[in-house]
Structure 1
Amino acid sequence: MIDEVFRSEWGRVFASLAGFLGDVDLAEEATQEAFVIAAEKWPTDGAPDNPGAWLTATARRRAIDRLRRDRAFAAKAPLLGVPEVEEVAMAETAIPDERLELIFLRCHPALAVDAQVALTLRALGGLSTDAIAQAFLVSPGTMKRRLTRAKTKIKVAGIPFRCHRIMRYPSASGWC
């Protein structure tokens, strides 16, 4: 049951949360946590009528809790002598389904084509790093490093999570 829901809902839940938060890494962590909670609770409590909505709500609550903890830490950090943490800005979206925006983010021309494909398979297909590595005929460790480098490049380059800005850049295969 959870496997089917994972395949059908991972991309939707992840993209929705990424659009809400504007932070792809936090969205991925919260989505993973929601699926872990589902895997623990559903066998004993039964699956909800609308698994996608349940997962989205759970992931959103997890992300909000994390942001609250970070905000509380930022308020108390000066007492510890730790530099202040910047607050996350929430991006507004013009597209109701954030999966399309997530594809545009993952297909940014600043990323290598193999990184674009791997990130898209991971984010929207919900494939594991091992499965992606097998498809690329590389070791799981190599694929993990590629995904990490690509995510870091997105963050360092400040690639926005907004479709209309990303579409200005043509990729090698046309408009992304």
Structure 2
Amino acid sequence: MTPAEEAVAWAHRREWAALIAATVRITRDLDLAEECVQDAYIAALDDWERGGVPERPGAWLTVAARRNALRALRRADTLRSKLHLLVEPEEAGPVAYDDRLRLVFLCCHPALTPEGRVALTLRLVSGVATPDIASTFLVSEPAMAARITRAKKRIAAAGIPFRMPAPAEPPAALDAVLNVIYLTFLGVACGARAVRHEPGSRSWSGTCLSRAWSEVRTTRRYLPAVLTVPLRGHDGLRVWPAGIQRL
């Protein structure tokens, strides 16, 4: 160990409890106090390595932790004063929506262009890389990156909230989401043609096979009840022979 590391280890053993207690007096929050003290020790490792160990390591750490605490409290005060501008109030009711669903509605907001909705959903919700989205839209990567950026800026400029639409709101938001879902699924369906051009691509084949099996299950789902067949008894070639054989 270097002299600085030895000094920090010694100060940790000797000063930790005192530092926590002194910092809690400022923060009134144990978690925040611990975080501030830990950051002080981390800063000490770097500072003492470069400038030497101070004569009073405990005092140095106390001042560093205090500064961290005051900085954190100032940030918290600023956040509290601006919080009403950043967060929409939650809807009343028993339903607890997944944040991912809120993200879908945000990306598919009617204020965005249809192309922007699809591109933003693919990027943020599905995690598709921008080059892959660009190839799907048959545009260049810079053009697609600019389209996604414009959609994000539109959300910020319009103040579109990160929330679920209220039941009483017009159905435009839900319609936009359903359109994006349909277009995304349609893109997978059209992508099946690429298998013929890339017969060795396992990714394409697997994606298209999943799509085909989904079609098979959908067809079965709408058959009369007397003809319902358990999943293990499905025969895709009998239900959707043309689609399966194309793959």
TM over 0.5: no
The structure number with the bigger radius of gyration is 2
Q: Which has the higher contact order (CA 8 A, sep 6+)?
A: 1
Structure with bigger helix share is 2
What TM-score do the two structures reach when normalised by structure 1?
Answer: 0.44
